[in-house]
Amino acid sequence: MATNKHAQIRYNTLDKCFRNPGRQYTLEDLLEECNRAIYGFDPNSEGIKRRQLYDDIRYMESEQGWSIELAENIKQGRKRVYRYVDSNFSISNQPLNEADANHLKSALLTLSRFKGLPQFDWVNELTIRLEDSFSLTKETKDIISFEENEYLKGKEHITQLYNAIHYKKVLKIKYKNFKSEEPQIFILHPYYLKQYNNRWFLFGKNRDFENLTNLALDRIIDIEEANGQYLEADINFNEYFEDVIGVSVNEVPIQKILLKVSKNAINYIKTKPLHGSQKIKEENDRFTWVELELIPNYELESQILSFGDNIEVVHPLNLREGLKERIELLLTKYKT
């Protein structure tokens, strides 16, 4: 098959040329048209050469492509002219070819890894239809996996919550916090589902509280649809979570946090930043000074503690002292 880079642009351009009754296209003309279309999409592209153009045409003629039929023995001087036998033919009017079906199947198999999400319930059915229609191989070896806990408690609620957000339904949620002896009842206007650290969280508005309510799905006991007018919210959740790690958004100002990172851990921090605000301030042979600008929360503390003695909080002092207390408490548990 031809190279994938800009491939569909080239196929669509060739298709238009092959069915154009008002002009005769030689190989040089086709090459010029393809490169013009590519440059229009990607000005930095180097375009293609004749060999790539030959490969594209052979692919379009193949069964893996669209089985196009080009007229033979049409000349412009000594040069061959490329034109469809049937000027009404177009690859845009054809069903999926085998290669496209295989690509789509691979994408569907990747989506099917997100088990439990309602918007992907149709994936398995469509995959089977593709296999039957195109005689695709039914046994597909896994070549990619995502971090996912299939046995996570609360996943069974995702479909109902997703639909409630989509259709703007008020919910009555029975919820039991790990620290509470008795469950609570929340009348919630649901807005957003977010996954963090393999757990799912629901964000919505409870009229009893000024701020958004955050409920962990694994602590939800029951969900019912409630009466009442749905309370709309104009919240950009990408911006809402921009200044935090995880799902805990505390009502405190953004702070500059200075970390002292050991040589053993700095490459991990560089390749997987703790937060989008991360900046490398200074480096030497033993330590690197790293700065973050965000709202401190429990998830940030957990991230820092996960690096053990390889990260030290230098500033602010309240975060440093809070971590110190947690470390001292941990130390007492291991003293014998």
pLDDT tens-digit map of 17-57: 999 988 999 999 999 999 999 999 888 888 999 999 999 99
Its CATH class, for the domain covering 255-334, is alpha beta
Decide which of 277 and 113 is more confident.
277
Q: Which residue has the higher pLDDT, 102 or 93?
A: 93
Residue 58 has phi, psi (to 5 degrees) of -60, -40
- pLDDT tens figures, 198-211: 899 999 999 888 88
Q: Cβ contacts of residue 67 below 8 Å, gap of 6+?
A: 61, 97
Using CB atoms within 10 Å of the CB of residue 205, give its burial: 0 to 12 exposed, 13 to 18 middle, 19+ buried.
buried
Give the residue among 230, 233, 221, 245 at the shortest CA–CA distance from 295. Answer: 245
Share of the chain above pLDDT 70, in %: 81
Query: Are 7-93 and 255-334 in the same CATH fold?
Result: no
pLDDT at 191: 96
pLDDT at 96 over 60: yes
Q: What is the mean pLDDT of residues 267-296?
A: 93
SS (H, E, C) the chain: CCCCCCHHHHHHHHHHHHCCCCCCCCHHHHHHHHHHHHHHHCCCCCCCCHHHHHHHHHHHHCCCCCCCCECCCCEECCEECCCECCCCCCHHHCCCCHHHHHHHHHHHHHHCCCCCCHHHCCHHHHHHHHHHHHCCCCCCCCCCCCCCCCCCCCHHHHHHHHHHHHCCCCEEEEECCCCCCCCEEEEEEEEEEEEECCEEEEEEECCCCCCCEEEEHHHEEEEEECCCCCCCCCCCHHHHCCCCCCCCCCCCCCEEEEEEEECCCHHHHHHCCCCCCCEEEEECCCEEEEEEEECCCHHHHHHHHCCHHHEEEEECHHHHHHHHHHHHHHHHHHCC
Higher pLDDT, 327 or 132: 327
pLDDT at 124: 56
The fold adopted by the segment(s) 155-240 is SH3 type barrels. (2.30.30)
- Per the model's pLDDT, the better-predicted residue between 136 and 243 turns out to be 243
**pLDDT higher than 90, residue 268:** yes
Residue 62's CB is within 10 A of a number of other CB atoms, namely 15
Q: What is the mean pLDDT of residues 300-315?
A: 95
Give percent of the chain with pLDDT exceeding 90.
59
Say whether pLDDT at 130 is over 80.
no
For residues 264-285, give the mean pLDDT.
Answer: 93
Decide: 124 and 106 in contact? Cβ < 8 Å: no
Determine the pLDDT at residue 198: 85
Region 215-223 average pLDDT: 94
Return the domain boundaries, the chain: 7-93, 98-134, 155-240, 255-334
> Band of the pLDDT at 14, cuts 50, 70, 90?
very high
Query: Per-residue pLDDT averaged across 160-184, rounded?
Result: 91
Q: What is the pLDDT of residue 2?
A: 46
pLDDT number for residue 292: 96
| CATH code linked to domain 7-93 | 1.10.10
Residue 121 confidence (pLDDT) above 80: no
Residue type for 24, please? Q
Predicted pLDDT at 15? 94
